């Protein structure tokens, strides 16, 4: 018996058949069902948003529908709803980690739509009207703030970009950078996150005209990593964001192909 949910199998079949209208209708139905569920978790919406993002790239009505869904989430967030779906009678701290945050979903939608301006406008409004929520969501908004050139706002929220350094240096003794297939690339994820934070810091400092500080921050990253191979990949990731993730995937796929049946 297959563990793949029926709606996922149906989405795959419609996508392969090129039946875009039917696929979009199913995506919207799946999205609405999650919206009506009590305390849905991130995994409940993952495949729907993955398929929707792919369809939006080639089917204009899917893009339009995604824009409409985004506006609905923005309205919900501004009205005080932090999460997708219906709340439990009593919320828990665990909700923040497991449930689908409205702001997180909006950022994901805007990344699909290549609309950093929408994320920037929403975050600027939160900064003015709900600063506590803005602080909570800032880490997700920072790339859009940098892309839109709002370096002053980004500088107020970016924090210490090197705070993950110790975790990476400890992780190198426990996890391989390129793990075997079907194994989570924990060290690669930690390193990518660290480099991303530093990259944002460098961009903000340069945007504010603080070039020497930007150069010093980049040097602090590379000097602070204990392992040479981590320094090499950090330098590459700074120049080519996503290079490490692509290498991990390529190596795991190559090992899968070489494995005996």
Three-state secondary structure call for residue 58: coil
Give the pLDDT band of residue 6 (cuts 50, 70, 90): confident
Q: How much is the average pLDDT of 175-191?
A: 94
Neighbours of 79 (CB within 10 A): 8
Q: For the chain, how are helix, strand and coil distributed in percent, rounded to 5?
A: 70, 0, 25
Q: How much is the average pLDDT of 247-254?
A: 92
Exposure on the CB side of residue 22, measured as CA atoms within 13 A: 11
Q: Determine the pLDDT at residue 210.
A: 98
Return mean pLDDT, the chain.
93
Give the pLDDT band of residue 1 (cuts 50, 70, 90): very low
Q: Pick 182 or 28 by higher pLDDT.
A: 28
Exposure on the CB side of residue 40, measured as CA atoms within 13 A: 21
Global confidence as pTM: 0.88
Q: Determine the pLDDT at residue 230.
A: 97
Q: Pick 3 or 88 by higher pLDDT.
A: 88
Q: How much is the average pLDDT of 84-103?
A: 81
Q: Pick 214 or 259 by higher pLDDT.
A: 214
Neighbouring-strand partners of residue 41: 99
């Amino acid at each position: 018996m297959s563990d793949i949910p029926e709606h996922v199998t149906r989405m795959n079949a419609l996508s392969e058949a090129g039946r875009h209208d039917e696929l979009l209708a199913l995506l919207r139905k799946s999205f609405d069902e999650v919206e009506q569920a009590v305390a849905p978790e991130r995994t409940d919406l993952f495949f729907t948003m993955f398929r929707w993002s792919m369809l939006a790239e080639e089917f204009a009505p899917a893009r339009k529908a995604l824009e409409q869904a985004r506006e609905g989430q923005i309205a919900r967030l501004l009205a005080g709803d932090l999460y997708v779906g219906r709340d439990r009678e009593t919320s828990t701290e665990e909700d923040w980690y497991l449930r689908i945050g409205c702001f997180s979903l909006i950022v994901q939608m805007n990344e699909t739509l290549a609309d950093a301006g929408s994320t920037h406008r929403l975050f600027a409004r939160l900064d003015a009207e709900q600063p506590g929520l803005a602080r909570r969501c800032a880490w997700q908004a920072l790339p859009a703030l940098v892309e839109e050139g709002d370096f002053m706002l980004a500088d107020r929220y970016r924090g210490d970009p090197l705070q993950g350094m110790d975790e990476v240096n400890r992780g190198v003794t426990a996890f391989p950078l390129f793990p075997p297939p079907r194994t989570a690339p924990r060290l690669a994820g930690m390193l990518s996150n660290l480099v991303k934070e530093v990259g944002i810091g460098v961009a903000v400092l340069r945007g504010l005209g603080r070039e020497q500080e930007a150069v010093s921050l980049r040097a602090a990253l590379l000097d602070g990593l204990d392992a040479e191979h981590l320094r090499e990949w950090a330098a590459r990731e700074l120049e080519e964001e996503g290079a490490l993730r692509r290498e991990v995937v390529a190596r795991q796929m190559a090992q899968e192909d070489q494995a005996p049946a």
